[in-house]
Amino acid sequence: MWIKRLAQRIVQPIDPWLMLFSLMLISVSLATIYSASNESVAKVTSKLVSVGVALLAMWLVANLKPQKLMSLAPPIYIFGLVLLVGVAVFGDITNGARRWLDIGVARIQPSELMKLAVPMMLAWYFERHETNLRFKHFGVAALLIAVPMALVLKQPDLGTALLIAAAGFYVLFFAGLSWRVMAGMLVTFLCSVPVIWSHMHEYQRQRVMTLLDPMTDPLGKGYHTIQGMIAIGSGGVLGKGWLSGTQTHLDFIPERTTDFIFAVYSEEFGMLGNIVLLILFLCVIGRGLIIANNASSVFGRLLAGALTLSFFTYAMVNMGMVSGILPVVGVPLPLVSYGGTAMLSILIGFGMLMAIQRDRKLMKN
C-alpha cells in the first residue's frame, strides 16, 4: 500500500498531457543529439543528466501552490537583478561577452532566471492592482521589464534580452493592454529603429545585414544561415534518414547540437518530420493556453499565458533563424537543443503551469 501511496504522491502534481508532450520532445532531442554529435554516447548521457535534474526541479515547483509562487515573485526578481549586476561587475568574459557568473561550485547565467522572474513579477504586480488597474500601472510594468532587459543588453545578449521583453509583453497583453497602446508602441519602435541601429554592436548589425543577403559573406557571417538553409532543403519531404545527414556528418552545420539542431533534424527527417515536430510544439502551447484559460486567479492566468507564449517565441525564433527568416541571435530550440540551463528554466516554467492546473483541480474539489 505504501508503494501505491508513494506513486500517487509523485504523480499527483504532474499534468499528464504536458508531461507527455514534453517527454516526446525530449525523445526527439536525444535521437537528434546522438546523430548531431557523431553518435556520442557521452553527449546523450550528459543530456539525460540535465533532463533528470530539470524534471526533478519541475516536480518540486509543481508541488507549490500558486499563492506560494506569487509570494516568491518579488524576492526572485530582486535576486535576479542582483545577479545581473554581479555579472556586469564580476562576470566571466567568453567570446567577447560577459554573461556568466562564477559562484565557486558552478558557472550560472542569471539572464535565464529573468525569463521566469520577469513574468512572475509582473503577474504578481497586476494581481495586487487588479481592482484599480490604471494606465500608470502599465508604465510601472514597462519599467520592471526595461531594467533587466537593459542589463542583459549590456552583456551583450540581444537574443535573451528580446525573450525577456517578449515574456513581459505577454503579461501586459493578457492583463488588458489596449490595442491602441500596442499600436503606439509599434510606431514608437519603428521610429526609433535608426537610434537602435546606431547603438547596436557591429556583430549585431552584421547579423541583420546577413539576414537580408547571406551571400555577401558566404564563408563568414552568412555561413551559419546558408548551411542551415541548405540542410533544411536537402532533407526534402521524407528526409535522408536518421544518422544519414550529409551536411551534418560532413561537419558543414555549425553549432549542430545547440542553436542549429533544427537543421540537423530537418535534414534527417524531412518535411514530414518537421510537421510532427510542429504538432508537438503546438500541443504544448495549446495545453499551456488551456491551463491559462482555466486558472483560478489573475496571477495564475497571467503567468501561465506568458510562460506558454514565451515557449512559442523560443521555438519560432530558433526555427526562423535556422531557416533564414530571422537573424541569428543564439536562441536554442526549446527542449530539443543540447544544454542544461535553458532546459532547466523551461521545465521549471512547466512546473509552474502544473502548479496552476493542480490548484484549479483542488478548488473544484
User: Which of 201 and 80 is assigned the larger pLDDT?
Assistant: 80
What pLDDT does 211 receive?
A: 62
Beta bridge partners of 108: 101
- Which 3 state secondary structure label does DSSP give 87? helix
State the Cα torsion 68-71-74-79 to the nearest 10°: -50
Cα dist. 111→1, 80, 257, 262, 304 in Å?
Answer: 45, 8, 21, 23, 20
- Which 3 state secondary structure label does DSSP give 94? strand
Amino acid at 251: D
**Phi, psi values for residue 108, rounded to 5°:** -115, 155
Beta bridge partners of 100: 92
Place of cell 538553409: 229
Task: Provide the grid cell at 189.
Answer: 519602435
Band of the pLDDT at 254, cuts 50, 70, 90? confident
Q: Under 8 Å CB-to-CB from 358, ≥6 apart: which residues?
A: 12, 13, 15, 62
42-79 pLDDT, tens digit per residue, is 999 999 999 999 999 999 999 999 999 999 999 999 99
Q: Quick check: 34 and 40 in contact, CB under 8 A?
A: yes
- 81 has a pLDDT exceeding 80: yes
- 192 has a pLDDT exceeding 90: no
HEC string of 106-168 equals CEECHHHHHHHHHHHHHHHHHHHCHHHCCHHHHHHHHHHHHHHHHHHHCCCCHHHHHHHHHHH
What pLDDT does 8 receive?
A: 72
Q: Under 8 Å CB-to-CB from 115, ≥6 apart: which residues?
A: 160, 163, 164, 167, 310, 345, 349
Band of the pLDDT at 278, cuts 50, 70, 90? very high
For range 196-215, the mean pLDDT = 68
What pLDDT does 355 receive?
A: 94
Q: How many helices (H) and strands (E) does the chain have?
A: 15, 3
Show me where the domains of the chain are located. Answer: 47-364
User: Which of 262 and 218 is assigned the larger pLDDT?
Assistant: 262
For range 263-290, the mean pLDDT = 95
| Short-list 27, 53, 56, 85, CA closest to 273 | 27
For range 190-195, the mean pLDDT = 74
For range 169-180, the mean pLDDT = 84
The predicted model scores a pTM of: 0.89
What pLDDT does 361 receive?
A: 58
Q: Under 8 Å CB-to-CB from 55, ≥6 apart: which residues?
A: 347
User: Which of 51 and 156 is assigned the larger pLDDT?
Assistant: 51
- 275 has a pLDDT exceeding 90: yes
- 1 has a pLDDT exceeding 70: no
Band of the pLDDT at 195, cuts 50, 70, 90? confident
- Work out the end-to-end distance of the chain between its first and last CA atoms, rounded to an integer number of angstroms: 24
Burial of 229 (0-12, 13-18, 19+ CB in 10 A): middle
- 304 has a pLDDT exceeding 70: yes
What pLDDT does 363 receive?
A: 55
Band of the pLDDT at 155, cuts 50, 70, 90? confident
What pLDDT does 12 receive?
A: 82
- 365 has a pLDDT exceeding 70: no
What pLDDT does 220 receive?
A: 67
335-354 pLDDT, tens digit per residue, is 999 887 889 999 999 999 99
What pLDDT does 348 receive?
A: 95
What pLDDT does 217 receive?
A: 67
CA-CA distance, 22 to 19, in Å (whole number)?
Answer: 5
What is the share, in percent, of the chain residues with pLDDT greater than 70? 87
